[in-house]
Amino acid sequence: MGKQKIDILLSTSVWDPKAWVEGLSQSELVGKIYVWPTEEDLSNVEALFVWKPLAEGVIEKLPSLKWISSLGAGVDHLMTDPQIPRNIPITRIVDPNLTTDMANYVLMGVIMHQRSFRLLQQNQQKAQWERITYNKLRVGVMGLGELGGHLAKQLYAAGFEVSGYSRTQKQIEGVKCYDENHLDTFLSELDVLVNLLPITPKTVGILNCELLSKTPKGCYLINVARGNHLVDSDLLKLIDENHLSGAMLDVFHQEPLPNDHPFWAHDKITVTPHVASVTSPESALNLLKENIERLVNETPLLHQVDLNRGY
């Protein structure tokens, strides 16, 4: 008897599903691939692959569902959706390209800040030759998981003084690591604060006036995790009061960032449209195919989310 095939439903509301369908259909373990929205009978679907948001009522059409995978690194869109069942595994994408791209983006932000790159560009417009000096920077990474842990190593390799903060204690060569009981000490020693925490009930709004005020005067913020980690008005207030020197932001409460949002025109804020690290179907499909094989062979799926922790 041949191996069982898995029927899959893809819901990629903001992405073109074509590359995912093509990639998945090359696996001999994949049966039918459905793309939401569809009127077809989905009662044999065992795997649901989602990038946000998932339409209401989808789950109730999937009585055979055994596994849900986010098509990105984040799972906040699933954790906050009441229709998502809690009795089947939920996995997410962990992919070397995603990890490398994130580290490169943040390195770019840190170095642009260190070298006053915005000012150099403004000076070029005026044909002004001004050799701006720069200092060594202490960079702190909040969240030392797949993305933050790799970033901390890359920052150290690039010559920065690096510290990191996470729920549990980590050991990373060259990086001063703090656990969740030492947040204030971590914050007090920084020139740049990078946020790579997941969104959970504990971390929503964590980048607020109280926390950001604990950084030294002149600290710069890079938020590449989620928009709702940040209290926008607190950031603007702290920049206006010259406590923070500025920010680079890739993620926002509302995306696309509304045209009239004050971040767009602020001369100390750099805005990018959620492009710090984008899942590429070509490389993420390797993990999905590995997990399809594991589902068929009834072995534990890779990169499962801890439903109690929420990430």
Could you list the residues that contact ligand NDP (CB under 6 A)?
Answer: 72-74, 143-148, 166-168, 180, 196-200, 202-203, 224-226, 250-251, 274, 276-277, 311
**Contact assessment for residue 296 and residue 126, using Cβ atoms and an 8 Å cutoff:** no
Tell me which of 77, 167, 266, 274 is the catalytic residue: 274
Least distance to ligand NDP, CB of residue 231, Å: 16
Tell me which of 92, 113, 150, 226 is the catalytic residue: 226
Query: How many angstroms separate the first and last alpha carbons of the chain?
Result: 38
Per residue in 197-224, is it b (16+ CB within 10 Å) or e — as a string?
A: bbbbeebeebbeeebbbbbeeebbbbbb
Least distance to ligand NDP, CB of residue 99, Å: 8
Least distance to ligand NDP, CB of residue 60, Å: 27
**Nearer Cβ to ligand NDP (203/291):** 203
Amino acid at 203: T
For residue 280, give the DSSP letter: -
**Nearer Cβ to ligand NDP (145/246):** 145
Q: Is 274 a catalytic residue?
A: yes
Least distance to ligand NDP, CB of residue 211, Å: 11
Least distance to ligand NDP, CB of residue 226, Å: 5
**Contact assessment for residue 309 and residue 197, using Cβ atoms and an 8 Å cutoff:** no
Number of Cβ within 10 Å of residue 138's Cβ equals: 17
Place of tokens 């994408």: 93
Whether the CA torsion 108, 144, 244, 203 is positive or negative: it is: positive
**Contact assessment for residue 198 and residue 224, using Cβ atoms and an 8 Å cutoff:** no
267 φ/ψ sector (left φ>0, alpha ψ -120 to 50, else beta): alpha
Active site residues: 226, 274
